[in-house]
Each structure stands twice: as C-alpha cells, then as structure tokens.
Amino acid sequence: MRNIILSRTFAVVILGLLLIPNHIIYAQSQQKAVFRFLNLPVSARAAALGGNNPALFNADPIYFQLNPAYLASPVERAAALNYINQFGDVNSSFVNTAFQLGEIGNLGVGIRYTGYGEFDRIDETGTEDGKFRAYDMALSFGLGRKIGSSLSYGVSLDLIQSSYDAYQASGLGLSGGFRYEEEGGNLVFAGAFSNVGIQMGTFNGTREPFPTDVRVGLSVKPEYVPARLSFMLVGLNEWDQRVPSDDNPPSLMSNLARHLAVGTELVFSENLNLRLGYNHYRNQAYKNDDGFDFAGLSLGFGIQVKRFTFDLSRNGYSDLGGTYQLGIRTKI
C-alpha cells in the first residue's frame, strides 16, 4: 500500500507542475532562457561522453541531476565534487551526495554554483562605482525508486537563486525520468526531462523561459567487447535547432543530427576507463568554417585509486578552446 501511495504522489507532483497555467510556468527554448547553468553536466564522465545522458551504465546515484532515476541504483555512503574551468573568469562547481531512506527510496542532495567573476560597476555617465560579483546557484533534492528488478524512476526539485549585482532572480525547477536496464546489464534505455520551472523572482519584472530539455538515451555493451556505446537524442521539446551561423532553416536531416550526441567508453579494467564523445549541435554552433576542428568533440578518462575515483574531461569549442571538468568521488 505504501508503494502505491508513493507512486501516486510522484505522479501528482509531476502533473501538478506541468498543468500550471502557461503564464506562470515556463518550459521552452534553451537558447533564450534564464538559469541556463542548470544544463551543465554535473559529471565529468557524462561530459566526456557527449552530455547529460540519462542512460549511462553503472549509474551513480550521486549524479541524479542527469536523470533522477539514477537514484534508484544501490546507494553507497559517498560524496562527489565536480569542477568546470570555463572561459574567462567563469567557473562552475557541483557537490552531491545520496542517502537511503528505506522503503521510501533513495534521496539525493546537491548544490550547483556558477560564478562569473568580478565586474566594474559603471553608471550611465561612465563613472565607476565600485565592483560587484555575479553568480547562479541551485540547491537540488531528488528521490528515486525501483519498480521490479529492471525499471526505475525519480523526480528532483531545484531551488534556484541568481544574483547579478542589484538584480536578483529565483525559481523552482522540476526534473524527472525513468531508466530501464536489461537483466544481464548489456542494454540501458532511459528518458528524462529537466528544468520545467516556475520563476518566482525576476530580474526586471519580465518572466523568462526555463532551459527545459527532454532527452532519451540508449547504452549498449557489445558481447565480448570491452567497450560501452552510448547514444542520446537531446532537445526533443524543441525541434528547430538553429545555430547563429544559419542563414536559412536547417534541413530535416541536419536538424535531426543536431539532436544527436554519441559516446564510447573503453573499459580496460574496473579501475581505468577511456572515453570519447561527440555532440553534433555543439559542432555546428562553434566550428570553424576553414576546415575540420575539434568543436563538439569530447574526451576523458576515469581512474580509481583505493577509495577515490577521479574523472577528467575536455570539451572542444573550436577557436574558443576547450573546457575542462574534474570530478572526484569518494566513499564516506
């Protein structure tokens, strides 16, 4: 009876937020959205494989912001820290952990923070008036459960705060997902939606859309091959995936390809993995027209040393360079 009540509670929460009138709730374009930091990968492993794949093998519950259904996996007493060295003075940090709550399920707790550095405050006459800092932050709570031996689901809630000098904004964001893992562990299929939200406080009195993303993923482990292959379709809530350089709407096949991200993970041992990924939208948005470059290409590795697991990834942005993400996970 308790399981039935909990399942219905999850459904009511999701439907309740999705049915809020459109003038209150925003689930639209990522490209013209507020709180876009919410779509940064909280895991260096996921970043190396092309992005926020909801269907990774050996899913770590700590990274429930990728897919809340990851929280249904067995939970160890562990914590994770991830750091992204972005362009200029922009840096992002993520701290996550997860707990068992008995029959209720598994609870995940995380903090996401992106700082944009220090700026000069200048008034309309050009006079300098000190300095200020800008940041985005979100406190995340997630809950995940299993249905049988193969299917799991979960939901999470973000409490969001942004501060750019005197301008403040806040909001609530909902994410949810499911995950199916074939018995034997050779196939994982999953889907997730993220950042369906309500903006409670605005920067200038105008409500803006949330960076909503709907995605599905598939991971396969070929028999007798020490590798895991992953495929992901992202941005399914918005078919038109134009980039700034487009003079005309992209063709059907070009649009479809821009929703696709792929990755492979070479498993040398339980303690060492090498990773390679490709995100076609990122390639189209940042590539240099002079020829082939590494825009959209990501790579990385994972290594385990006693109680610690280290993950490192690099994502290419052509002439802009690349962003590096370091992840450290440890048992408590």
Q: Are 142 and 108 in contact (CB under 8 A)?
A: yes
22 pLDDT exceeds 70? no
Cα separation, 171 vs 160, in Å, equals 5
Q: Are 142 and 75 in contact (CB under 8 A)?
A: no
Highest mean pLDDT among 145-154, 172-181, 192-201: 172-181
CA distance 243 to 238: 13
pLDDT at residue number 6:
43
Closest CA to 141 of 109, 173, 175, 170: 109
Taking only the tens place, the pLDDT of each residue in 64-77 is 999 999 999 888 88
The tokens for 331 are: 């048992």
87-102 confidence digits (pLDDT tens): 878 899 999 999 998 8
* Composition of the chain by helix, strand, coil, percent to 5: 15, 50, 35
Provide the token pair at 273: 């993995």
Q: Decide if pLDDT at 10 tops 60.
A: no
Longest distance between any two alpha carbons in the chain, whole Å:
69
Residues in the chain: 332
What pTM value is reported for the model? Answer: 0.85
Residue 290 has pLDDT above 70, yes or no: no
pLDDT tens, position by position, 227-244: 999 999 999 999 888 888
Range of the domain at 15: 2-331
Share of the chain above pLDDT 90, in %: 57
Say yes or no to pLDDT of 103 above 80: yes
Compare 318 and 4 and report the one with higher pLDDT: 318
CATH of the domain at 64: 2.40.160.40
CB neighbour list of residue 96: distance below 8 Å, 6 or more residues apart? 42, 62, 63, 64, 65, 79, 80, 82, 108, 109, 110, 111, 140
**Predicted local confidence at residue 14, as pLDDT:** 42
Distance CA(67)–CA(59), nearest Å, equals 9
Region for residue 42 given its phi and psi (left: phi exceeds 0; alpha: psi -120 to 50; beta: otherwise): alpha
How many domains are contained in the chain? 1
- Of 203 and 291, the structure prediction assigns the larger pLDDT to 203
Q: CA 166 → CA 24, 123, 205, 315, distances in Å? A: 24, 13, 13, 33
Structure token digits, residue 60:
């770590």
Per-residue CA distances from 283 to 88, 260, 292, 297, 318 (Å): 21, 11, 10, 8, 8
Residues 180, 151 contacting (CB under 8 angstroms): yes
Residues in contact with 120: Cβ distance below 8 Å, sequence separation at least 6, in sequence order: 128, 131
In this predicted structure, the answer to whether residue 266 has a pLDDT above a threshold of 70 is yes
